[in-house]
Amino acid sequence: MLAMIKSCVVSGLDGQPVIVEVDVGAGLAAFDIVGLPDASVKESRERVRSAIKNSGFEFPIRRITVNLAPADIKKEGPSLDLPIAIGILVATEQIKLSEQLTHAAFVGELSLEGTVRSISGALSIASCLADSTEIERLYLPQDNAAEAAISQGISAYGVKSLGQLADLLNGEDTLEPTVTDVERLLQSPADEAAVDMSDVLGQQAVKRALEVAAAGAHNILLIGPPGSGKTMLARRLPTILPEMTLNESIEVTKIYSISGMLPKGQALMTSRPFRAPHHGASSVSIIGGGAIPRPGEISLSAHGVLFLDEMPEFHRDVLEALRQPMEDHIVTISRASGRVDFPASFQLVGAMNPCPCGYYGDSRKQCTCTPYQRNRYFQRISGPLLDRIDIQIEVPRVQYKEISGRSRDEESSAVIRQRVKAARMIQQRRFAGKTYLTNAQMSRQDLEQYCQLDRDAAQLLAEAFRTLGMSGRGHDRILKIARTIADLAGAENIALEHVAEAIQFRSLDREEFNDF
């Protein structure tokens, strides 16, 4: 008998519908799986065989052929165990063919005893199947049901074992679909952050730079001696960013789910990611890739912060590979079998010392580096990459009078976040109907429309362009920063003081670096 079971696999960030065709016929006992299965899918033969037997069913000693259609798409992972097992039971009439089965899809990994184990990419799978008019139900592991229920248009049923699922399909048991209250998850207060901007004493200029960066989604580079607080400040940037929207949360959840990094028991990612890879990380781990493409750190930090501490110590090819994703907010990984796109809408925060020894220009310790060593150190960050970092600011050593005081006068992250949210709301209204909602992503046409300067402001920018040796991209970055500063002030037009502050955030350009 032939059985056809609907399922789905993950391809990139999205799901790919799969039909599992199972034929149990006469002939020598065999169990073959065709349709471009990878090693983990081929190994499902043994898992399925044992799961069926240990669940109290009869495994047919006949010729079993499983075809995974469409046959020209690579199938990977153990999530096809469950539909293969259901197909065998239907083909041998141990599960009745019913209307409920016709409009259902199945995904899940089976243990040898028949329990259904969790899988990766449940939300991507549910979102894909929800677009089908033929599928009304999705049966999947109980641990993934809450995540899958986030998707609208399909009912998610979490099952514990193959035996339980067989009873449900035979009408011998009932089960209510899982319901996830997405609005409650988004609106419920987030856990108290372990860090807060009020923890940082002093460094008012750097805090202001981080506020501007958060308000306009600008990239930022912090330059200062060891112990000046660069890492401490960077780790507090997510605490002043606005809460994630539903679409952002779903996208981040999909990324972490297919990577197998979604926290157990958490259906939806509601906090902005903060990723801080080590400077020894490879290009594949940062950008993404592999024989089977997987998201890298730039995708895992989507809608959040990617922090590169000791930035010049990263491999040159890693830093240069950041340039395209920083501009396009998407990373494309091409392989002989095809290409996949992963989101890369991250906010970069870089941190570095002013020289190899770390103490050039420091008021306490003498620098031991030669001019040649300092110049070579800064050349590890190329000009094109530096151009893409909107804000570049010095983080000086903190003075004793600043750290000896109490933090009662320091603004909390919640207070700063309110100003950032107000500025973001202005930008959302400004860019309504466009694919982007922040000043950092403005196009040339937007700059001409929204960043008009009066005579004094234009004259100041022209002088800065000449004296600092800026590129055209650097000029545009200043306009974007000035627009964000004006939004924070609630000003409709960019004034002279907004341009002056923006220039201060871009004044550490290549020539300035060499004389830092």
**Which one is predicted more confidently, 410 or 70?**
70
Query: What is the rounded distance in angstroms from the CA atom of residue 436 to the CA atom of residue 508?
Result: 28
Position 488 confidence tier, pLDDT thresholds 50, 70, 90: very high
Mean pLDDT calculated for residue range 433-451: 90
Identify the CA nearest to 386 among candidates 289, 312, 287: 312
Residues 69 and 18 sit within 8 Å (Cβ to Cβ)? yes
Element of type H or E holding 413: helix 413-430
Output the six-digit token pair for 318: 């890693």
What pLDDT is stored for residue 250 in this prediction?
Answer: 94
Residue 162's pLDDT is 97
- What are the tens digits of pLDDT across the range 261-318? 998 888 999 999 999 999 999 999 999 988 778 899 999 999 999 999 999 999 999 9
What's the mean per-residue pLDDT of the chain?
A: 90
Distance CA 515, CA 361 (A): 10
Mean pLDDT score, 127-154: 93
pLDDT tens sequence across 454-486? 889 999 999 988 887 787 888 889 999 999 999
Structure confidence by residue, pLDDT tens digits, 150-165: 998 899 999 999 999 9
Cα distance between residue 98 and residue 74, in whole Å: 30
Domains by residue range for the chain, with CATH: 2-180 (3.30.230.10), 197-514 (3.40.50.300)
User: What phi and psi values does residue 163 have, to the nearest 5 degrees?
Assistant: -65, -45
Interval 47-74 mean pLDDT? 94
pLDDT at 511: 45
CA 267, CA 185: separation in Å to the nearest integer?
9
The lowest-confidence range among 154-168, 228-242, 355-369 is 355-369
pLDDT beyond 90 at 99: no
Report residue 321: phi and psi, to 5°.
Answer: -70, -15
So what's the pLDDT on residue 118?
95
Strongest mean pLDDT among 140-154, 381-395, 460-474: 140-154
Contacts of 504 (CB under 8 A, 6+ apart): none
Confidence of residue 194 (pLDDT cuts 50, 70, 90): confident
